Amino acid sequence: MLSFSTTLGTLVLTMATAVAQTLVIPAAATNAEIGSTPNVWPNNVVRVQCIYDSSHFTSQLAVPAPISIDRLEFRLANAATTNIVIYGSVHAYLSYSAVDYLTPSTTFANNRTVPMPTTPNRMGSVTTLAVPGSSPNGYFVDMPLQTPFVYDPTLGQDLLLELVIWSYATPNVGNQTSSASNVVSHRCNSIRAFGSTSALTGTQSAFPPVVRIGYTPVANAAYSTPIGQGCYQLERSFYELFPGAANDLSGQTVTMFPNATGGYDVTTGAGGAVLPPTGAGLALGDDVVSPAIVLPFTFDYPGGSTNTIYVDSNGSILLGATGPTTNGGTPGDLLNAPTPRIAAAMMDLLPDGATNVANVFAESAPGNPGVFLITWNGVPCFGAGTPSTFQIALVDNGTSDLVEIGYQTLVNDSTSDNGRCITGFSLGNGALDGGSIDLTAGPFSTTVDTLPMRATALTRPFTNANWNLRLTDIPATGTIGVAVFGVADPGIDDLFFVGLPGCGLRSTLDLQLPFSPTGPTHDYGIFLPADPTLNGLLLFSTAAVFTNPPQNSFGAVTANGVQGNLGLF
DSSP sequence for 425-452? EE--SS--------GGG--EE--S-BPP
DSSP 102: T
- Above 60 in pLDDT, residue 14? no
Q: How far apart are CA 247 and CA 237, in angstroms?
A: 20
SS3 468: strand
Region 19-218: CATH code: 2.60.120
Neighbours of 87 (CB within 10 A): 19
> Residues 437-467: pLDDT tens digits?
999 999 999 999 999 999 999 999 999 999 9
**What pLDDT band is residue 503 in, cutting at 50, 70 and 90?**
very high
pLDDT value for 385: 83
Q: What is the DSSP string of 517-529?
A: --SS-EEEEEEEP
SS3 184: helix
pLDDT value for 43: 95
- Above 70 in pLDDT, residue 213? yes
- Above 90 in pLDDT, residue 175? yes
- Above 90 in pLDDT, residue 9? no
- Annotated domain spans of the chain: 19-218, 224-233+452-565, 238-445
**What pLDDT band is residue 19 in, cutting at 50, 70 and 90?**
low
Mean pLDDT of 140-156: 95
Asked whether the domain spanning 224-233+452-565 has the same topology as the one spanning 19-218, the reply is: no
| Average pLDDT score over the chain | 94
Mean pLDDT of 246-257: 96
Mean pLDDT of 116-139: 96
- Above 90 in pLDDT, residue 517? yes
- Above 90 in pLDDT, residue 87? yes
pLDDT value for 329: 77
Longest dimension (CA), the chain: 86
Please give, one letter per residue, the 3-state secondary structure of 489-519.
CCCECCEHHHCECCCCECCCCCEEEEECCCC
- Above 80 in pLDDT, residue 333? yes
Region 224-233+452-565: CATH code: 2.20.130.20
Give the lowest-confidence range in 18-22, 162-166, 226-230, 489-493.
Answer: 18-22
- Above 50 in pLDDT, residue 556? yes
Nearest to 40 by CA among 266, 156, 202: 202
Q: What percent of the chain is modeled with pLDDT above 70?
A: 97
Nearest to 541 by CA among 569, 506, 501: 506
Cis before 302 (ω within 30) = no
